[in-house]
């Protein structure tokens, strides 16, 4: 069996499962973001009184942090009251950050577990050797009551990434390149197992970027076999004992794709689809792409490594007049570390706007949304019309290094000249 199948088998009390089967499995941790007050309403409608385990459920206030309108403030108030009533051990309020960053930081994510959240980018946690997947409000209410949920055992695709990335090519470039080949519908309700020498040598932040965007190919979940960086990170934080699960050597994948990252250059996902991916040089040779805003943040591109490379590129320089660079650290922990190392100060001196850790404008809620006709280059994960504000705005997705170098010049720019 594959490691994902072993996790599903263990949590459903079975010796073996295979692709296509429906199983009912125990959930090790569940998370609800602040878009989903409906989970509480459904829980009450279904006769729920107390959650199944107050140590395995958390709310994260990240999409509207701090609240930009009365409706979101009312939602937060109701969620806080529910969390207090149920005496939840973990509660991440508006001072914490993005759910997919704060959960690993808090030690509730570890190898061999099942984590379910009301957010499609829960595939991120495959970076830790966990099975992470998203669900809707009714399914989450079921978990809140019983601690279990049904799962269809997915077919598993191998995406093997080999080689060492050249200068200026980051994990975001790698996963954009993969996405451009497999496309947005290439892995619907399948699992993607990222393997190969590139993955084996990838740090925790890079692994999270790659697994995060698996859902943009339709994947139900993503997986990476934990390396030493992951084990060191988890062992320093995990709140529970865990077991690393291994895929059997004779496991056969439903499909396999092989990518040589040594051949890559910086990539761009162009408006208005994430799968609309081209090498950066191919885009700019057709003429300058003028920018109004750069955006570095989200569960994809707001970690310390992302902010550090932007600070390195922009230190001692200044973005052009009438442009904006919005920096949104993925968590309070990331913000503090970047302050201690001077990255935030360097970026502010370069003209950047620093906002509260959270999701911000990634979903078009606040803190940097776009006006009609504006063009933004962003380290986030989606660029369809209206994602960051006006449906008439354009969004290019890129690595934080490309975002920083581009907004420095006011046009999309190859970051390699600054590295």
Structure confidence at residue 264 (pLDDT): 98
Residue 186 within a domain? yes
* pLDDT tens digits along 151-166: 999 999 999 999 999 9
Structure confidence at residue 93 (pLDDT): 98
Give me the mean pLDDT over the 43-56 stretch.
97
State which residues form the domain around 92. Answer: 3-259
* pLDDT tens digits along 233-273: 999 999 999 999 999 999 999 999 999 999 999 999 999 99
Residue 392 within a domain? yes
| Average pLDDT score, the chain | 97
Share of the chain above pLDDT 90, in %: 100
Q: Do 222 and 370 fall within a single domain? A: no
Q: How many domains is the chain built from?
A: 2
Q: Do 197 and 247 fall within a single domain? A: yes
Give me the mean pLDDT over the 205-212 stretch.
98
For 37, the token pair is 């007050």
Name 69's Cβ contacts closer than 8 Å, sequence gap at least 6: none
Name 383's Cβ contacts closer than 8 Å, sequence gap at least 6: 269, 270, 271, 272, 273, 274, 395, 396, 397
For 364, the token pair is 């078009």
Q: Which of 239, 259, 279 is the last residue of a domain?
A: 259
Q: Which of 219, 239, 259 is the last residue of a domain?
A: 259
Q: Do 30 and 173 fall within a single domain? A: yes
Q: Do 184 and 293 fall within a single domain? A: no
Structure confidence at residue 277 (pLDDT): 98
Residue 418 within a domain? no
Name 287's Cβ contacts closer than 8 Å, sequence gap at least 6: none
Q: Do 207 and 141 fall within a single domain? A: yes
Q: Do 160 and 201 fall within a single domain? A: yes
Residue 156 within a domain? yes
Name which of 363, 316, 321, 355 is nearest 338 in CA terms: 355
Residue 405 within a domain? yes
Q: Do 250 and 273 fall within a single domain? A: no
Residue 419 within a domain? no
- Please give the Cα distance from 212 to 306 (Å, whole number): 15
Give me the mean pLDDT over the 181-205 stretch.
97
* pLDDT tens digits along 91-145: 999 999 999 999 999 999 999 999 999 999 999 999 999 999 999 999 999 999 9
Q: Do 338 and 403 fall within a single domain? A: yes
- Please give the Cα distance from 408 to 134 (Å, whole number): 36
Q: Do 194 and 307 fall within a single domain? A: no
Q: Helix %, strand %, coil % for the chain, to 5?
A: 35, 20, 45
Give me the mean pLDDT over the 294-306 stretch.
97
Residue 342 within a domain? yes
Q: Which of 259, 281, 297 is the last residue of a domain?
A: 259
Where are the alpha helices (H) located in 236-303, listed in sequence order?
280-284, 298-301
Distance between the two ends of the chain, CA-based, in angstroms? 43
Q: Do 289 and 247 fall within a single domain? A: no
Structure confidence at residue 351 (pLDDT): 98
* pLDDT tens digits along 303-344: 999 999 999 999 999 999 999 999 999 999 999 999 999 999
Give me the mean pLDDT over the 397-401 stretch.
98
Q: Do 389 and 307 fall within a single domain? A: yes
For 164, the token pair is 């060492």
Identify the CATH number of the domain in which residue 406 sits: 3.30.499.10
Name which of 212, 207, 249, 258 is nearest 228 in CA terms: 207
DSSP E strand stretches across 301-411: 324-328, 353-354, 375-378, 394-397
Confidence of residue 86 (pLDDT cuts 50, 70, 90): very high
Q: Do 272 and 380 fall within a single domain? A: yes
Give the Å distances, CA to CA, from 331 to 78, 101, 338: 23, 6, 11
């Amino acid at each position: 069996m594959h490691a994902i199948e072993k996790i599903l088998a263990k949590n459903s009390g079975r010796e073996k499962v295979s692709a296509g089967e429906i199983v009912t499995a125990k959930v090790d941790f569940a998370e609800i973001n602040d878009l989903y007050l409906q989970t509480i309403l459904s829980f009450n409608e279904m006769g729920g009184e107390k959650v199944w385990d107050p140590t395995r459920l958390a709310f994260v206030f990240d999409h509207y942090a701090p609240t930009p309108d009365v409706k979101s403030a009312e939602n937060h108030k109701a969620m806080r009251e529910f969390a207090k009533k149920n005496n939840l051990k973990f509660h991440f309020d508006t001072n914490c950050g993005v759910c997919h960053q704060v959960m690993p930081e808090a030690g509730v994510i570890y190898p061999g577990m099942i984590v379910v959240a009301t957010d499609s980018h829960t595939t991120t946690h495959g970076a830790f050797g966990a099975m992470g997947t998203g669900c809707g409000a009714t399914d989450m209410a079921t978990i809140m009551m019983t601690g279990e949920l049904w799962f269809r055992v997915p077919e598993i695709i191998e995406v093997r990434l080999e080689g060492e990335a050249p200068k200026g090519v980051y994990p975001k470039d790698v996963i954009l390149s993969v996405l451009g080949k497999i496309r947005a519908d290439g892995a619907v309700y399948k699992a993607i197992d990222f393997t190969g020498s590139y993955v084996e040598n990838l740090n925790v932040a890079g692994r999270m970027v790659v697994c995060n965007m698996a859902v943009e190919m339709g994947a139900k979940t993503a997986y990476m076999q934990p390396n030493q960086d992951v084990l060191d990170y988890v062992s320093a934080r995990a709140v529970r004992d865990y077991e690393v699960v291994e895929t059997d050597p004779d496991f056969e994948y439903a499909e396999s794709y092989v990518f040589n990252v040594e051949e890559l250059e910086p990539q761009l996902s162009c408006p208005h689809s994430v799968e609309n991916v081209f090498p950066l040089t191919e885009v700019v040779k057709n003429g300058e792409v003028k920018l109004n805003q750069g955006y570095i943040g989200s569960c994809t591109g707001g970690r310390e490594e992302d902010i550090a490379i932007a600070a390195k590129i922009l230190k001692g320089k200044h973005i052009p007049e009438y442009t904006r660079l919005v920096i949104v650290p993925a968590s309070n922990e990331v913000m503090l570390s970047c302050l201690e190392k001077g990255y935030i100060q360097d970026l502010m001196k370069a003209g950047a706007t620093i906002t509260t850790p959270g999701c911000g404008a990634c979903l078009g809620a606040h803190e940097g949304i776009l006006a009609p006709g504006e063009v933004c280059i962003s380290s986030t994960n989606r660029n369809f019309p209206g994602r960051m504000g006006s449906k008439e705005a354009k969004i290019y997705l890129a690595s934080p290094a490309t975002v920083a170098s581009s907004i420095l010049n006011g046009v999309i720019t190859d970051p390699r000249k600054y590295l």
